[in-house]
Amino acid sequence: MHYYKQTRYKLLRTFCVVAQKENITQAAEVLHISQPTVSLQVQALEREMGEKLLERRGPSIKLTPEGRVLYQLAHPLTAGIEALRETFAASLGKMERGELNIAAGQSTSLYILPEYIERFKHQFPGIRINLHNVEGQNGMKMLMADQVDLAVGPLLQIPDSINYKPFATFNSILIVARDHPLTRKASVTLEDISPYGLILPPKNQSTWRMVDTVFRQNRIPYTVSMEAGGWEIVKQYVELGIGISILTEVCLTGKEENLAAISMDAYFPPRNYGLIIRKGKFFTPQAKRFIQMFDPGFFVDENLQE
């Protein structure tokens, strides 16, 4: 029986890694076994479960509906066993090692996370933090593939598979060069903005989609004169008078002497920033402590996975 349980754990762990990597070769590298061994272990698990768990779609391997069900059941178990040493140490009041993987966009990484990461590292200097700077849907993909413990940032639409816990709200503002003609107006409308070229981040980011939606809903044309990745870059070119931009106030540090900020509350809703977590996720002790810095009562909610 003991050998059988060991074998089952090995099969489940292999299955979970393949599901995360969607690739036999990459899974074999992670598990330090050969590709044929990975395939044989997956096949053995499929025979034991009596269901097809994985299917090949082009170069990738995807979970079948039955495979998704098994993954949701198996991953917390295998992750818990792999983190057993750290969990045991944390239960004894010790947390001296381990890793924490966070996905966040550039604005979150630059303007929101530093104070939290500084505080966490002060409390737990031995914990290695891997901050994955991602944009668009890439953070969500990493989260769903269990490549990160959590994501942090704004979320316009909340999938059923996600728990979203907002912890901060920021208003949208228009930024222009200090001597821009719009600074002489008591209030600025979308019609006022329309003649001027906007500097926006790439189209796959939420800010572009939000700006496009608001202008379209109000049937007002707009022009993008420049696309730039990163708010510090955007601010630099706005200062030079090359264009104007719409962003959330969190992106202002108070050191922008050559910029003027104009409220856009009449047109753009406040932006929430929050913790983005996959439902059913197994949390390592490191992830739990980090999450509790934002929301001490997070794990009290009986609907959330502890």
Helix%, strand%, coil% for the chain, nearest 5: 45, 20, 35
225 and 251 both lie in a single domain: yes
Q: Which two tokens stand for residue 122?
A: 């002060």
Query: How confident is residue 91, by pLDDT bands cut at 50, 70 and 90?
Result: low
Q: CB neighbours (10 Å) of residue 94?
A: 12
- Final residue in a domain of this structure, among 27, 51, 82: 82
For position 3, what pLDDT does the model report?
46
- Rounded to the nearest 10 degrees, what angle do helices 24-31 and 35-49 cross at? 100
Tell which wins on pLDDT, 298 or 242: 242
Query: Measured between alpha carbons, how far is 234 from 242 in angstroms, rounded to an integer?
Result: 10
pTM of the complete model: 0.68
287 and 247 both lie in a single domain: no
In a domain, 88, yes or no: no
In a domain, 306, yes or no: no
Mean pLDDT (whole number) for 58-63: 81
Query: Measured between alpha carbons, how far is 306 from 302 in angstroms, rounded to an integer?
Result: 9
291 and 157 both lie in a single domain: yes
- The vertex-197 CA angle with 193 and 199, nearest 5°, equals 105
CATH of the domain at 34: 1.10.10.10
CATH of the domain at 193: 3.40.190.10
What is residue 205's three-state secondary structure? coil
Residue 121 clears pLDDT 50, i.e. is over it: yes
Query: How confident is residue 86, by pLDDT bands cut at 50, 70 and 90?
Result: low
39 and 156 both lie in a single domain: no
* Percentage with pLDDT > 70 across the chain: 91
20 and 44 both lie in a single domain: yes
In a domain, 87, yes or no: no
In a domain, 239, yes or no: yes
Q: How many domains does the chain have?
A: 3
Instruction: Provide the residue range defining the domain that includes 228.
Output: 172-269
Q: Which residue has the tokens 């003027």?
A: 260
Q: What is the average pLDDT value for the chain, to the nearest integer?
A: 86
